[in-house]
Structure 1
Amino acid sequence: MHFLPEDLDDYIIKHSEEEPELLQQLTRETYQKILQPIMLSGPYQGRVLSMISKLKQPKNILELGTFTGYATLCLAEGLQKEGEIHTIDINEELADFQRKYFDKSDYGSQIIQHLGNAIDIIPKLDRTFDLVFIDADKPNYVNYFHLIIDKLNTGGIILSDNVLWHGKVVEPLDSKDKSTKAVLDFNTLLKEDTRIETVVLPIRDGLTISRKK
């Protein structure tokens, strides 16, 4: 989805950092073998995630929603040498695909996969995080926020994907559309919760940066 004219969007991409070769390979194989490949973060958003992670230099990252591991690898680029990224996904069929690319990267030993429901897994993670990326099922976004906020260090960052939800956030709400309602509720929560400060970026399908005060 383009929020800018496509030619301007192309110009921005061409004048931003290039996508690493390994991620190009991951993208190609995802499109060849995996359903709904559009769920990939993509080269431009991936470089944005990488840049934010490099600026933050987190020791511990939490990712909710791994898919084929594209964003995981982008976020891992900013990890401290002894840092870890814990990534949670419910789809066991993707675990081997993810691990293949994780192990091809420079960050394989720093990436910890968790298989199952994030609602159950998050409370069991006995650590705090400097950076969290939420990119999983939309109806649970609010629940994820409440589970992670106390595990986020002061000054820590929450990145939330798909917060513009194909533009549906500014359209009349269909009462049966639970995902759009969930995104609207989540966006309101990020705006009103006094523990964080939030900026929405019109990148791809919308990316929010929230910083814990």
Structure 2
Amino acid sequence: MHFLPEELDAYVVAHSENEPELLQQLTRETYQKILQPRMLSGHYQGRLLSMISKLVNPKNILEIGTYTGYSALCLAEGMQKNGVLHTIDVNEELVDFQRKYFDKSDYGNQIIQHLGNALDIIPKLDKTFDLIFIDADKDNYPNYYNIIIDKLNLGGIILSDNVLWSGKVIEELKPNDTATKALLEYNKLLKEDSRLETVILPIRDGLTISRKL
């Protein structure tokens, strides 16, 4: 979803940082071989993730929802030299695809893949994080929040994708629309939790930046 007119959006992208060649290759192969390629973060949002990570300069990053690895590689660009990025996904068929591109990058030995349910995996990770990116099944956003908040360091950042959900968050809620219901609850959680300060950016499908106080 684009909140700007198409021509203005194109101008914004054209005057933002160029997309690295490796990520261009990843995008092409994702569109050729993988279902639902629109799930990619993409050039513009990817550069935004990279910029935020560089500003935070995290030692430890947690990503919930790997897909084909695009966003993980963007976030890794800002990671400290001895940093580690943990990324979690449930799709076994994408593990080798992700690893191929991770290993082509400068961060291959710093990215750890986890296969399975994030709600089961995260409590077993014996570390805290400076940057957490949530971009997985929307129904579980509130549940993800409840298990990550105590693993986020003070001053740490939570990035949450798809929080505007194609505008459905301001439409009448349909009884069977569990994803939108969960996102409404999640957005309310972030707004009302006194441990955070939160800003929603109307970028693509909505990206929230939350900082732990």
Alignment match, 1:169: 169
- The alpha carbon displacement at 1:175 in A equals 1.1
User: 1:167 and 1:6 mapped to 2: Cα distance?
Assistant: 17
Question: TM-score, length-normalised on structure 1?
Answer: 1.00
Alignment match, 1:143: 143
Give the residue type in structure 1 aligned to 2:211: R
- The alpha carbon displacement at 1:77 in A equals 0.1
- The alpha carbon displacement at 1:17 in A equals 0.1
Alignment match, 1:120: 120
Give the residue type in structure 1 aligned to 2:189: L
Alignment match, 1:50: 50
Give the residue type in structure 2 aligned to 1:167: G
Q: Counterparts in 2 of 1:64-213, with a 5 A limit?
A: 64-213=64-213
- Encode CA deviations 1:24-44: one digit per residue, 9 max, x unaligned: 000000000000000000000
Identity over aligned residues, as a percent? Answer: 78
Q: Secondary structure at the residue paired with 1:119?
A: helix
User: 1:3 and 1:111 mapped to 2: Cα distance?
Assistant: 33
The alignment covers a number of residue pairs equal to: 213
- The alpha carbon displacement at 1:196 in A equals 0.3
User: 2:164 and 2:172 mapped to 1: Cα distance?
Assistant: 14
- Encode CA deviations 1:178-197: one digit per residue, 9 max, x unaligned: 00101111001000011000
User: 1:33 and 1:202 mapped to 2: Cα distance?
Assistant: 30
User: 1:101 and 1:124 mapped to 2: Cα distance?
Assistant: 26
Gaps of 5+ in 2: none
- The alpha carbon displacement at 1:156 in A equals 0.1
Q: Counterparts in 2 of 1:1-80, with a 5 A limit?
A: 1-80=1-80
Give the residue type in structure 1 aligned to 2:117: N
The ranges of structure 1 where at least 4 consecutive aligned residues each deviate by more than 4 angstroms after the TM superposition are: none
User: 1:207 and 1:15 mapped to 2: Cα distance?
Assistant: 20
Give the residue type in structure 2 aligned to 1:39: M
- Encode CA deviations 1:88-110: one digit per residue, 9 max, x unaligned: 00000000000000000000000
User: 2:25 and 2:83 mapped to 1: Cα distance?
Assistant: 25
User: 1:82 and 1:110 mapped to 2: Cα distance?
Assistant: 8
Q: Secondary structure at the residue paired with 1:126?
A: coil
Q: Secondary structure at the residue paired with 1:144?
A: helix
User: 2:117 and 2:80 mapped to 1: Cα distance?
Assistant: 27
- Encode CA deviations 1:84-141: one digit per residue, 9 max, x unaligned: 0000000000000000000000000000000000000000000000000000000110
User: 1:141 and 1:120 mapped to 2: Cα distance?
Assistant: 14
- The RMSD of aligned alpha carbons is 0.4
- Encode CA deviations 1:122-166: one digit per residue, 9 max, x unaligned: 000000000000000001100100100000000000000000001
